[in-house]
Structure 1
Amino acid sequence: MDNFDRKILKILQNDCTQPVSEVAAQVGLSTTPCWRRIQTMEKNGVIKGRVALADPEKLNVGLTVFVMIKTNQHNPDWLDDFSINSKEFPEIIEFYRMSGEVDYLLRVVVSDMKAYDAFYKKLIGQASFADISSSFAMEEIKYTTALPVDYM
């Protein structure tokens, strides 16, 4: 990736609905070379997809919960089962295997505490956990889906 690719990627990460001609003009290329660069980044997996970002408040899922999970089942079968089961929960929007004190971290969005309680009861029925704790986000201070591109 060169500077043109980085500039293109920054633009697309902020608004992928812009016409290629506008992206090209912003980075100083003509339309066809810009389009080819975008196609190459898609083919190489640098651009994984193009999505619409929805407003959680408008979808009534404004409560963000970080769920920390500890398990005594440190084996591939347990993780495979839990990973598969997690796909049944649209509320889980991020799922990470962690190092340190917590084994897994989930980012969950729900409408309110009652909805979280229903989610929690369903979750604990899916797998065996040593401990689950939850932290509720009180305020979103920074949120972005745009990744830094200057490390390439």
Structure 2
Amino acid sequence: MDRYDRQILALLQEDATMPVAEIGEKVGLTSTPCWRRIQKLEEAGLIRRRVALLDPAKLNVGVTVFVSVRTNQHNAKWLKTFHGLVQSIPEVTEFYRMAGDTDYLLRVVVPDIAAYDAVYKKLIHGAELADVSSSFAMEQIKYTTALPLDYA
């Protein structure tokens, strides 16, 4: 990956709807070589997909909850059940298996505490959990989907 690829990726991370001609102009390439580079970046899996970022507040899901989950179950059957459960809950927007005291960390978006309580009840009824701890975000200080490109 060279400087052109990094510049193209930086532009696409900011606005994936930007026309190829405009991207090419900004990075110093004509449309055809720019388009070929974008296709190669997609084929290589560097560009996984292009999506629209929506405004949570305007969709009435402005409350973010970080949920730490601990379990005493560490077997394949439980893991499959828990992963399926979490995948089925649309309010869970991120899901990580962790190292340390927490086994799993979930990011949940909901309109209010009552809606979070419904998600919580789905979690505790759907899988055997040792501990569930919830932290409500008071303010979003930084949020970006753009990844740093200096390491590529």
Deviations 1:80-139 (CA, angstroms, capped at 9, x unpaired): 211111111000000000000100000000000011111111111110000000000000
Q: 1:77 Cα deviation (Å)?
A: 2.2
Return the alpha-carbon distance in structure 2 between the equivalents of residues 80 and 43 of structure 1.
30
Secondary structure of residue in 2 paired with 1:125: helix
Aligned partner of 1:150: which letter?
D
SS at match of 2:66: strand
The aligned residue for residue 4 of structure 2 is 4
Q: Secondary structure at the match of 1:51?
A: coil
Q: Which residue of 2 aligns with 1:49?
A: 49
SS in 1 for 2:129: coil
Could you tell me how far apart the structure 2 residues matched to 1:150 and 1:15 are?
19
Q: Which residue of 2 aligns with 1:129?
A: 129
1:50-101 Cα distance to aligned partner (Å, 9 max, x none): 0000000000000000000000011222112111111110000000000001
Alignment of 1:111 with 2:106, yes or no, is no
What residue identity is the alignment partner of 1:47?
I
Taking the aligned partners of 1:25 and 1:100, their CA distance within structure 2 comes to: 47
**Structure 2: segments with no counterpart, 5+ residues:** none
- TM alignment of 1:1-152, pairs within 5 A: 1-152=1-152
Give the letter for the 1:9 counterpart: L
In the superposition, the TM-score normalised over structure 1's length comes to 0.98
- Percent identity reads 63
Look up the equivalent residue of 1:56 and give its one-letter code: P
Count of residue correspondences: 152
TM-score (norm 2): 0.98
Partners of 1:49 and 1:14 in 2: how far apart? 14
- Structure 1's unaligned 5+ residue stretches are none
> Runs (4+) of structure 1 moved beyond 2 Å?
none
